[in-house]
Structure 1
């Protein structure tokens, strides 16, 4: 595993760091969801500390000091600890991303674009975390913070796949999923092109649905409809599209209070909730059709066994997510199921990003190989022609 100058040591370390970062990002997403769903987003009214210190005030003197600094807040230690644990873990992830950038510099020829983007995204995420608190849970900031975590997870997966040729030995067992076949048919190349385009459609639809889910949660619209498949009563009379799409809600604040527990009217929340439900149907159908096409692709290309497994995993995750969504409505949003809904959404995105990146890398290899094959045939034909002319002379 050790190359010249110990380069492979850095490469192996980088691979481990990226894998660990992906797992830690999932933990941060789960902790963020648990904090938000437990109404602990303002457990600490300041940032980056908590009531003016780096930990939750627990001693009598600390509580008295915190009360004097923030007289308008009721100190709830359990909510404050949820918020601070989330911050501690997120801070650890930020340090880990910085370490990834530092180690990436030591790996020869590895593009530095991806680790640099990861560091910038972490800095922006920290700013969003601060604004989430200072702007009192403004929904658009909360959603952007959520999307930032999902984006970080996605980019880590992309960087992991992109960095593999630089960080792993090029033996057949490790790179078989990306190796093109020796004889590429035009039909397979066309199918791969079509599949790649559909993968981007599936990814786009999933991102929109994740936004709708975050918008539903941040506007406290998850419990506005407690019946299934539609809201109770004459819900269609209450629909308010313009209210549901109100991004900046400062004028709706009463008495200068926070956005906690929402400020939109009933009709706007019903609309948001139903948009998320209808979006779930569209997303589920899109992902299932995409999975079916992935599985059919195996009939043409047996080398992509990893994609085949990813397709079946995608079907399972879609079914699980639909079940969790229905259970959250029927059971009035139990915390454990709501957190699980967020986790499965992250796993869905991770799986789709993995498939998209794999298809993209594989397609580029196939394209280059096909071009090389055509060029080789042309070269051979020219050599044969020259030989024939020489013999004739």
Structure 2
């Protein structure tokens, strides 16, 4: 069996399914269906949603005080079914990766551990009644899984291509053909890529924090909040990570527990973060187009520009149209695609221009410039 090809197909399938899980999770959260099933991993004590009269009666007896809403319960369970299928795919990736000799085993092992931790976060999201920090960590887990899958795919593909002695001409210059200026540009692009990735991760956290604290509709005007918003600005209250259980509404964190000033602050910080993120990502795209000779990276740079413009448009539309579900879910999806784009660019830069090799090559060029005798010196030696 061609295990490298099978591994590649499994990873690609997992990337697509992870995007589906992220979209379903966002739809479930925005539809206020995060507690559609009050237990985990089943729903009201069974593996499917109670629909028949005897099932509903048994569920009401097991969970008194809970109103059974089949639509919300099905949203939650479908999300769990798809996430479980993704977990099985990751397990298959782990098994198949050990059939491919010399391929890095750290990546699939990290993926398997992350899936286990993500399942635990899914359980805690329900048992801790939508505690905002757990909801955000659950969101981060999905995004981290998506990123690791892409990195593993690119690393394994590069390994298989080297094993098969294949040469891919995507316009990337080899390290041996890079000039001193090219080496410096490659190193600068890598640093700018890591900076862009860091800024995007912070912005994703702010978006998740806004959603989990139900602060998306606190400000409904542009460019800032209506009224004397600066008087209610409360930065310390906005980022209280572990909110007191006594503030829970109806024994859960659903619909938020923070006051208006704290939620308004979260919303505004998310908007300010969006401006900073857009400037950083667009500048990085411009740098890529300007200095990179890779056609692949240039296409990724233009895709980055398009995704940033689309994400800003969706953010504005969500405010103006008061957060319609489809646009809010699209906002989450484009955030995932932005992360994929940046991770792809950073990984390609890493694989094409390794910092250690760049440093060695730069030192080698500098040493040649220092030690190479000048033409006049050679002529003086000959005359003597």
**TM-score after normalising by structure 2:** 0.91
CA distance in 2, matches of 1:297, 1:350: 21
CA contact (8 A) 1:21 1:97 kept: yes
Name the structure 1 match of 2:256.
Answer: 262
Unaligned runs of 5+ in 1: 1-5, 382-393
Name the structure 2 match of 1:36.
Answer: 29
Deviations along 1:96-127, whole A, 9 cap, x unmatched?
00100000000010010000000000000000
Label 1:98 to 1:16 Cα distance change in 2 as closer, same or farther (>3 A).
same
Name the structure 1 match of 2:150.
Answer: 157
Question: What displacement does 1:313 show?
Answer: 0.1
Label 1:86 to 1:282 Cα distance change in 2 as closer, same or farther (>3 A).
same
Name the structure 1 match of 2:301.
Answer: 311
Selected match of 1:189 from 172, 177, 183: 183
CA distance in 1, matches of 2:172, 2:96: 25
- Asked if 1:351 corresponds to 2:344, the answer is no
CA distance in 2, matches of 1:230, 1:365: 42
Label 1:373 to 1:233 Cα distance change in 2 as closer, same or farther (>3 A).
closer
Name the structure 2 match of 1:391.
Answer: none
Question: What displacement does 1:222 show?
Answer: 0.1
Label 1:82 to 1:182 Cα distance change in 2 as closer, same or farther (>3 A).
same
CA contact (8 A) 2:249 2:257 kept: no
SS of aligned partner of 2:73:
helix
Alignment of 1:218-229 (within 5 A): 218-229=212-223
CA distance in 2, matches of 1:136, 1:324: 29
Selected match of 2:134 from 131, 141, 159: 141
Runs of 4+ off more than 3 Å? 175-179, 368-375
Alignment of 1:73-88 (within 5 A): 73-88=66-81
Alignment of 1:234-313 (within 5 A): 234-254=228-248, 257-298=251-292, 302=293, 304-313=294-303
Label 1:363 to 1:255 Cα distance change in 2 as closer, same or farther (>3 A).
closer
CA distance in 2, matches of 1:145, 1:318: 24
Alignment of 1:168-207 (within 5 A): 168=161, 169-173=164-168, 176=170, 180=174, 182-207=176-201
CA contact (8 A) 1:107 1:166 kept: no
- Asked if 1:15 corresponds to 2:8, the answer is yes
Label 1:177 to 1:156 Cα distance change in 2 as closer, same or farther (>3 A).
farther
Name the structure 2 match of 1:26.
Answer: 19
Q: Which deviates more from structure 2 when the two are superposed, residues 121-130 or residues 155-164? A: 155-164
Question: What displacement does 1:41 show?
Answer: 0.2
Name the structure 2 match of 1:384.
Answer: none
CA distance in 1, matches of 2:173, 2:77: 46
Question: What displacement does 1:249 show?
Answer: 1.0
CA contact (8 A) 1:216 1:273 kept: yes
Question: What displacement does 1:297 show?
Answer: 1.1
Q: What's the C-alpha RMSD, in Å, of the aligned pairs?
A: 2.1
CA distance in 1, matches of 2:165, 2:260: 58
Deviations along 1:309-329, whole A, 9 cap, x unmatched?
000000000000000000000
CA contact (8 A) 1:15 1:167 kept: no
Question: What displacement does 1:361 show?
Answer: 1.1
CA distance in 2, matches of 1:260, 1:332: 19
CA distance in 1, matches of 2:348, 2:249: 52
SS of aligned partner of 1:259:
coil
CA distance in 2, matches of 1:72, 1:22: 39
- Asked if 1:333 corresponds to 2:323, the answer is yes
CA distance in 1, matches of 2:333, 2:351: 27
CA distance in 2, matches of 1:101, 1:369: 34
Unaligned runs of 5+ in 2: 372-384
**TM-score after normalising by structure 1:** 0.89
Question: What displacement does 1:171 show?
Answer: 2.0
Name the structure 2 match of 1:360.
Answer: 350
